[in-house]
A and B are shown apart, each in its own frame.
Chain A
Amino acid sequence: MRRLLAKNLLSRPLTEAPPAADEASLKELAASVTRAARRRLGRSLAIREVDAGSCNGCELEIHALNNAFYDLERFGLRFVASPRHADVLLVTGPVTKNMRQALERTYRATPDPKWVVAVGDCALNGGLFAGSYAVVGGVGDVIPVDLHIRGCPPTPEQLLKGLLALLEGQRRPAVRS
């Protein structure tokens, strides 16, 4: 183990330079999040992930954000265990009817101000599962959504761009729609 640790200390870090914040995301956020809310959230965001019906593909890529290449925590973004500790809900999946109540309760348990980021094509509008007897639809059909990150699943880089827009948006003056 010592050999591995020493080798890691002496080799170059794998962590890559961050991508630029996604412009489309910035626009979407500017319309939905007030400047006051941004100021209060500061530069550090606690994220609570909620799977509201996904196939678990999005979860795999969200997990990848924690690996050495993307190292999400260097931006002050970290995943927390409870909605009560969270600023951001990262919600995946078409919302199934069986998960609707749990999602609503999780949203209510998250203190204000809060943001909701819907991750994946299913979270936008139900994706391939839209129209099923067991599916409500996209996340926006159940709780208010501030930002959508598309993809099936979105790559860690796409996720990072969207999440960086959350931080970036706080530094730029808000454009009210």
Chain B
Amino acid sequence: MPALIDIAKNSRKVKGHHPWPRAIVTADTWRLTIQKLADGAATLLGLWGDAHAVHMALLDEGPADIVVFTIECPDGNYPSVAKQHAPAMRLERTIRDLYGLKPVGLPDTRPWLDHGVWGVKHPLGSHRRSSAPPPAYAFLPAEGEGLHQIPVGPVHASIIEPGHFRFTANGETVVRLEERLGYVHKGIESLMRGASLQQAAQLAGRVSGDSTVAYAFAFSRAVEAALGIPVPPRAVWLRALMAELERLANHFGDIGAICNDASFSLLYAECGILRERILRTAYGCFGHRLMRDRIVPGGVTQDLAPDHIPDLRLLVELLRRRFPELIEIYDNTASLQDRTVATGTLSLELARQFGAGGYVGRASGRTFDARKALAYPPYDQLGFDVPVLQEGDVNARVWIRIREVEQSLKLIDQIIEALPKGAVRADLGKDRAGEGMAVVEGFRGDVLAFVRVDAEGRVARCHLRDPSWFQWPLLETVIEGNIVADFPLCNKSFNCSYSGHDL
């Protein structure tokens, strides 16, 4: 079978798509590609709609390479990817909801993000008015003696985002979990259309608040690729500094919250203190605790003042000093280990098939980390390891986070040491058009951004794919056979984004 890149070479290449090629392919080539996905010869990186076309981003994991294939569908139909490759299922249901393009052969034809209350059908396609009452959502059946259902959400019992979980259980044991998402769908891709680059960057930074840096980073890189803008070296390094601070803050939050879901509040409190220290340092350095709106196309909006470097050093020193004793408690508390070890196990095979990103994939043997595999700057100049485990349980997902904390501290050391001098923002120029794509490693996994900028410098199309798209379906599989009470642990160890997924 030909390699992805060779298929791309033999197809109609689209001019001005950077840095990876985009090619318009025939239905036959599209089917051949689906076969490659089904055979495990490539990983699905993204699948999104456009005006009368569908784009599919693919990752060749050998020496990491990316191509985008586009199938034109003037009659509104295209061959379904999900028919042979399950990870595409919800993405295709979404393309149907938003664009009205029909994936022929799609096994699950229920709507996904469209709950029937928008007042319009296919908001990014025909935008047809619709006042039909919302149809009842048909959950998948689970039949058998002694089964009962537990509906949970969309409003949950703690301070988390909304989504619906439908459990079918036999006594304590979960037989099936089905998720229903889309509650926080804000129509971001429609707001993107026609937005100025500045507005669009703000929107990108509000796709998933916990990953605001990663999204702004990915969006900005996509725009810079599209317009061919070189970013000042200092800005490139400051972006990585923010990205690592964001990763640290989230990993500490998650490690504490997972322990809290096992009723071990000591570590929750201790990790909460470290998280707060990081956010306060971020505020001191960049003027915002979550570092929102600090990364923009062309660079960053705020330089790091020299007198904040000692604060960063102090923070790194504090985290290095305090964290080991917390890890020791985590590792030596039998009641905690009892809850996390061998709970919610994700198989290596499923992690690979779904191209699961972040700690979910890396706790189940998948080595992909966009910082390493795609080596975007400044990570190509920095030394760090990508921790990988094979166990795939809640405990492994905790340990990946612990190891990544250590790596992020190492990265921050190097960034502070070798931070280049100079400007932090480049001029975007005017009247330039183009298409660009970027993949950036957020704390949760790889964020994909695709953007088309029109001749007036406005966004014609922007698609942002959260890592959660390929993690949410896996959460359904890991809870099977576990007890209901372990669901919060499993869920927190995945910590998928609702907002990032629902867009």
Contacts and interface: CB of A to CB of B under 8 A. Distances in A.
- On whether the two chains bind one another, the answer is yes
A97 B118 contact: yes
Given A57-B210, A64-B272, A98-B115, 10 more contacts: A5-B266, A49-B158, A55-B207, A60-B209, A68-B272, A102-B162, A128-B206, A132-B188, A133-B187, A155-B283
B232 interface: no
A49 B184 contact: no
Which of A59, A131, A133 gathers most chain B CB within 10 Å? Answer: A133
A1 B266 contact: yes
A138 interface: no
Contacts of A133: 118-120, 123, 127, 187, 190
24 contacts: A1-B332, A1-B333, A5-B266, A49-B159, A51-B161, A52-B162, A59-B161, A60-B209, A63-B253, A64-B276, A66-B272, A67-B272, A67-B275, A82-B157, A98-B113, A98-B183, A98-B185, A99-B154, A106-B155, A128-B199, A133-B119, A133-B187, A134-B190, A135-B187
B196 to A, nearest CB: 12
A24 interface: no
A120 B45 CA distance: 33
Nearest to B120: A133
Contacts of B191: 128-129, 131-132
Contact of B279 (A4, A14, A64, A102): A64
A96 interface: yes
A51 B379 CA distance: 36
Interface string B186-220: 11101100000001001100111110100000000
Contacts of B188: 129, 132
Interface residues of A, number: 49
Contact of B498 (A5, A56, A68, A83): A56
Contacts of B117: 97-98, 100-101
Contacts of A102: 154-155, 162, 183
B499 interface: yes
A55 B205 CA distance: 9
A60 B269 contact: no
Chain A binding surface, main DSSP class: mixed
B279 to A, nearest CB: 7
A129 B187 contact: yes
A58 B209 contact: yes
B185 A96 contact: yes
A118 interface: no
A149 to B, nearest CB: 15
Contacts of B119: 97, 133
Nearest to A106: B155
Contacts of A162: none
Contacts of A169: none
Nearest to B271: A67
Interface in B371-410: none
Contacts of B118: 97, 133-134
A60 B290 contact: yes
A97 B269 CA distance: 36
A69 interface: yes
Given A51-B160, A53-B186, A99-B162, A67 B276 contact: yes
Nearest to B215: A55
Contacts of B493: none
Contacts of A63: 159, 253
Given A60-B290, A67-B272, A53 B184 contact: yes
Which of A50, A51, A100, A132 gathers most chain B CB within 10 Å? Answer: A51
Given A96-B183, A129-B186, A153-B290, A134 B325 contact: no
Contacts of A58: 209
A14 B183 CA distance: 38
Interface string A109-120: 000000000000
For the complex of A and B, 5 pairs with smallest distance between CB atoms: A57-B209, A132-B187, A134-B187, A81-B157, A67-B272
B3 to A, nearest CB: 39
B358 interface: no
Contacts of B123: 133-134
Which of B159, B269, B272, B325 gathers most chain A CB within 10 Å? Answer: B159
